[in-house]
Amino acid sequence: MDEKLINEAIAGSKEAFCSLYGEYKDRLYRYALYRLGDPTEAEDAVSDCVLAAWKSIGSLRSGKAFGSWIFRILSNCCAAKIREKIAARENLGRIYDASPGNVSAPASLSVELAEALSQLKDEERDIVLLSIIGGLNSTEIASLTDLTAGSVRSKLSRSLAKMREFLS
């Protein structure tokens, strides 16, 4: 990541912020899509995230933290979307599968992989998605989950092993 670009965005450059968004937009969308299971909801969550990020970019203390910082914002936006759906009780079956707390994967994801993801606890699923879809490293995920980087690596390894076992 170009730290100069991040520093320009922190200083208020719209062009720099747009360039940063361009580098992250696909990963942000995929994460939101896997988390919410609905393309429209994912687009809304990413839009909310980008708006919130632009409004608070000046509070970013370190350019190196940009990736984890923007994914934390997106994670919060996704959680807000889920809370909205639960409160409204609209389309609850589309967001959750048969067991409470399990977020369904998008339709384009293979059924087997969706089932493997549904075997994981919420925290495990988030760690897998942040790592695989978000491209974040264990230190960045640790800052989002309030775990240590070692715990993230351990949980990621165990979660992937659970998924492999389920798929075999």
pLDDT (0 to 100) of residue 17? 92
pLDDT (0 to 100) of residue 22? 92
pLDDT (0 to 100) of residue 62? 79
Which helix or strand (DSSP H or E) is residue 52 part of? helix 39-56
Residue 95 scores a pLDDT above 50? no
Domain boundaries defined on the chain: 3-167
Backbone angles phi, psi at 96, to 5 degrees: -115, 145
DSSP line for 82-95: HHHHHHHT-SHHHH
Over residues 18-45, the mean pLDDT reads 91
Residue 145 scores a pLDDT above 90? no
Could you tell me which CATH class the domain 3-167 is placed in?
mainly alpha
Q: Which of 36-45, 104-113, 131-140, 155-164 has the lowest mean pLDDT?
A: 104-113
Quick check: 42 and 111 in contact, CB under 8 A? no
pLDDT (0 to 100) of residue 100? 45
Quick check: 93 and 20 in contact, CB under 8 A? no
Over residues 57-81, the mean pLDDT reads 88
Classify residue 135 as left (phi > 0), alpha (psi -120 to 50) or beta.
left
Distance CA 4, CA 132 (A): 26
Q: Which of 15-24, 31-40, 81-90, 138-147 has the lowest mean pLDDT?
A: 81-90
Query: How much is the mean pLDDT over the chain?
Result: 82
Cα 70 to chain centroid distance, Å, stands at 9
CA dihedral sign of residues 100, 83, 52, 145 = negative
